Structure formats: structure tokens, C-alpha cells
Amino acid sequence: MKNTIRIERAVHNLTQAELAGKVNVSRQTINAIESNKYVPSTVLALKIGKVFSKPVEEIFVLEETD
Amino acid sequence: MLAIPSAVLIIMTLNFDFRFKFLDFSRPAANVNFDNGFLWNIQFNNFTDEIVSIILITGLLFISFSREKDEDERITRLRLESLLWAVLVNSILIILAIVFLYSSLFLDIMAYNICMPLILFIARFNLILFFERKRQAQP
């Protein structure tokens, strides 16, 4: 699964720590998601979508191997 | 806080026959069944090792399952993974002990093994968190 969090963060001018604060997780978690090391739970994905006011499908995209 | 002093105590009890005198226990022999080591049947025992191991296990449990400052879903998952890892590694260690160790040495090692899974779990979980935070602090 790919995600566009890094790009969305740049668009909204947020740092990893600021985004982490908005969705109530640690900065390491955001970093792990961005570097594709961790797949967030549905709840967290929806929260991130809410922060960027975009549907989850536009932020998280399935890959061939999934 | 509980775990460190009790870890010292359990090593002393196991290795150097350290006992608290006031925990000595005995009762008059009456219908004692020597083949049965259950609590109601024992005749003489010192309860130092029992008390200390209970405190040690409680302390380790507190360390293991206290919340991190920034507890979130990924840390919860890391916790579960570490617990699984600890159980696997511990089983491998037990198998190795069964194959390579015999008689009283085996029994000694099994005594230490009582709290081995918890110690392995704490070690792995905190090591991973430590390296993750160190890596994060650099850029």
C-alpha cells in the first residue's frame, strides 16, 4: 500500500509532529506510515483523511502486491 | 521499583541459600505425606523464595505493561509482536536446555526460567523503542 501523506503534509504545510498531534499518535508512527513500514488502522486512516479533508482512497492507494 | 531489589534477592536465594529467618515455618508432624508437596502437606519450609518470586513477577508485570508516554496503536502492536517473539525465543531456550542440561543444573536453569519470558519481552520491546527514537532524533 502506498500513501501520499508526505505530499499532503507539504500541501497543508504541516510537520510530522503537527500531524501526529492532530491525530493523537506519536511522531514515530507518522514517520513509519510515510516510509511504508506500518499500515495504520482504519480509524487512524480515517482521522488522517479528515485532517486533509480528503477521502481515504486518495491518500492511501493499493498496490499490485496487496 | 519492585523488580530490581527482588531480582537481587531471588539470585541470592537461589545461589547463596539466603533466607529470612522470620519466614521459617514448621508444624508438628502428623499424618505427613512426604510424596505430596502441596501447601497443606508441607512440614517445614522457608517462604523467602516464594515471597520474593511473587514480588519479582509482579514487578516485571508492572514494567511490561505500563503505558508508554506516547502510547498509540503502533506501540500496542510492537508490544504484541515483542511478546510473541519473547515466547518463541524462550521456547527455543527451553528446548536447548532440555537437550544439553541434566540433573540439578537443569532444575536451576528452569528456576531462572520462571520469569525469562517477561525479561526477554521487556528487553526486546525497549531496545526496539530505543533505537527507533534514536533514529528519529537524528534528522
Whether residues A24 and B132 touch (CB distance < 8 A) is answered with no
Residue-wise pLDDT tens digits, B12-27:
666 666 666 666 655 5
Q: How high is the ipTM of this complex?
A: 0.77
Report the C-alpha gap between B137 and B128 in whole angstroms. 14
Chain A / chain B CB contacts < 8 angstroms: 27
Q: Looking at the domain A2-61, which fold is it?
A: 434 Repressor (Amino-terminal Domain) (1.10.260)
Tell me whether A44 touches chain B (CB under 8 Å): yes
| A45 compared with B9, residue with greater pLDDT | A45
Residue-wise pLDDT tens digits, B73-99:
888 899 999 999 999 999 999 999 999
**Global confidence as pTM:** 0.76
Report the C-alpha gap between A38 and A48 in whole angstroms. 14
For residue A38, the chain B residues in CB contact (below 8 A) are 74, 77
Q: What is the mean pLDDT of residues B89-114?
A: 89
User: For chain A, which residues make up each domain, given as ranges?
Assistant: 2-61
Whether residues A28 and B136 touch (CB distance < 8 A) is answered with yes
> How confident is residue B66, by pLDDT bands cut at 50, 70 and 90?
confident
CA proximity to B69, closest of A36, A27, A50, A53 = A27
Q: What is the dihedral of CA A16, A21, A25, A28, to 10 degrees?
A: 30
Mutate to test the interface with B, among A22, A25, A26, A27 (most CBs of B within 10 A): A26
Rg (CA), chain A: 11
> How confident is residue A44, by pLDDT bands cut at 50, 70 and 90?
very high
> Residue B71 has what pLDDT?
78
Q: Which of A24, A29, A43 lies at the smallest CB-CB distance from B74?
A: A29
Tell me whether B50 touches chain A (CB under 8 Å): no
Report the C-alpha gap between A5 and A34 in whole angstroms. 6
Angle at B122 between CA B116 and CA B127, to 5 degrees: 125
Helix (H) or strand (E) holding B52: helix B48-65
> Residue B62 has what pLDDT?
82
